[in-house]
Amino acid sequence: MQLSLKFVTGLLLASSAAFAENANEISLERRNSFISSNNELNVNLFSKHMVQIDHKYKTALNNYKRNIGKDHPLLRLLLGQKRGGPASLDLTDVQNEQLWAGEVTFGGQTFGIDFDTGSADTLVNPSAYNPKKSKSAKNTHESFQASYGDGTTAKGAIYTDSFEIAGLKAKNVAIGHSTTKFIDDQDPSEGISGMAFPSIQTFPKQYKPFFESLKDQKAVSQGVFQFTLKSGKGSTLTLGGVDSSKYTGDVAYTDVDPSQGFWLTDAKINGKGIKAIIDSGSTIISGPTDQVRSVVQGLKGMTPFNQGGTIMYTYDCSQTPSITINVAGKDFKLGKAQTRYGTVQGGKCVLPIAGQDGMPMDAWIVGDTFFQATSIIFDTDKNRMGFAKQA
């Protein structure tokens, strides 16, 4: 049941004042098509997902160079490398892209959208939104094109229109209306909304990401959002503030540089220093193959295998590998559930840490595996991220 903003606000004030003023919360539900009902990982579908992640970041790096006029500091030279192919809104982890989805409204038309901290534009399938049915739609006469891997491309015209999410409203928010379908019909969402910084966006710079528009138009009292993702029910995205009931203990903060586009921070995995991009649009933790190998070789009983250019590892399910991620000076130990990404034939468990041969950056993509161990605060006011243990 979706509660009205007025009711939820009153309920919160009467209880613990966990929310900041005007904070809006989105409930999330996770689904996973890469892992079957018998817990077996579909390695072919997963390999496709990793190709899509590669394409997303290559597109982001190209956007950065176009927008800023120079190569991104994280860019790697890849010579000769190839790879194989307070209100609430319910969200769902979509089946193929593994992003977190919920309903938004553009020009009075409501549809599902994926929330992705690894990109910065709002793009939708042709069937999701019809600007001719909106009284407030404006054609900017600008076009866009974005590649999502495996030949899938979103391209079309950029419009601005009225926007609403969980009771928050803004005017003239940019939306890319694709003339080509880039998200499958089986997915509950029909688009992607990026929540990274504008320097990696595909759109021209005057068309900001949706959360920047909410912030600029004072629809939220704070330029802060918070992901708390769980393997079962109870996952949430909070917009405009922090819900302290979602975590326990102190929040450890680390500064980020918005000019680099990504939610990027220094981190350590089992003591090995890395650059980490915190990405809600990726399922696992992945990085340059040589760096991943350096981390995994410290774990007992790991057997590598190559799936379409992604180096993955299996291990005996009777064992639980010890994996600790340190961010902002605070340790987060992955639980048993977070160290297992399904099984493969033979009953071996799959480690949710993988190397990518064609990784375009000298950085790791830290996705859903880590999100499920933490509550993560993204603060655009103070240019920082906060990490705390989930309650």
255 catalytic? Reply is: no
44, 347 contact by CB (below 8 A): no
d(CA 221, CA 232): 30
Alpha-carbon distances, residue 348 vs 302, 316, 351 (angstroms): 10, 5, 10
226, 242 contact by CB (below 8 A): yes
d(CA 284, CA 189): 21
Three-state secondary-structure class, residue 284: coil
316 catalytic? Reply is: no
d(CA 118, CA 60): 9
Q: How many residues make up the chain in this entry? A: 391
Alpha-carbon distances, residue 79 vs 58, 62, 84, 89, 317 (angstroms): 15, 17, 16, 45, 37
Q: Show the tokens assigned to 95.
A: 């089946």
Of 54, 93, 114, 116, the catalytic one is 116
Three-state secondary-structure class, residue 274: strand
Of 93, 279, 368, 379, the catalytic one is 279
d(CA 158, CA 206): 12
Place of tokens 């603060």: 379
Q: Show the tokens assigned to 351.
A: 């480690």
d(CA 350, CA 339): 8
- Distance between the two ends of the chain, CA-based, in angstroms? 23
- For 179, residues 6+ apart whose C-beta sits below 8 A from its C-beta are 126, 155, 156, 157
Alpha-carbon distances, residue 129 vs 3, 26, 104, 190, 305 (angstroms): 25, 22, 11, 9, 42
CA–chain centroid gap for 44, Å, is: 21
Catalytic residue numbers, as ranges = 116, 279
